[in-house]
Amino acid sequence: MARVVLIGNLAQLTGGVAEFNLPATSVKQLYQQLAALHPELGPHLEDGVAVAIDGQIYQETLLQPIDPDSEVFILPQIAGG
């Protein structure tokens, strides 16, 4: 199962849980699994977050594959001005 880490304030939406081991094979499936576990996280995933899979950051992520031994980091959007 992939190791998934929530960065920043995203863990506040999961009761402080920042790490998960999930059997997702794509980012889309990962989002579905996380939203099923923690529904309050779902809207934040839909609004857009940055996703790093095995050290590579992706912008268009929904179809990115996730290997069983991958490390996935989900980061909140950073607003700039």
14-67 tens-digit pLDDT: 999 999 999 999 999 999 999 999 999 999 998 879 999 999 998 778 889 999
Tell me, which fold does domain 2-76 have in CATH? Ubiquitin-like (UB roll) (3.10.20)
- pTM recorded for the entire structure: 0.89
Task: Indicate the domain borders of the chain.
Answer: 2-76
Question: What letter does residue 32 receive in the DSSP assignment?
Answer: H
Q: How many residues belong to the chain?
A: 81
> What's the confidence (pLDDT) of residue 39?
96
- Bridging pattern class, strands 19-22 and 2-6: antiparallel
> What's the confidence (pLDDT) of residue 37?
97
> What's the confidence (pLDDT) of residue 48?
79
Q: Look at the alpha carbons of 5, 10, 12, 15 in this order and tell me if their dihedral is positive or negative.
A: negative
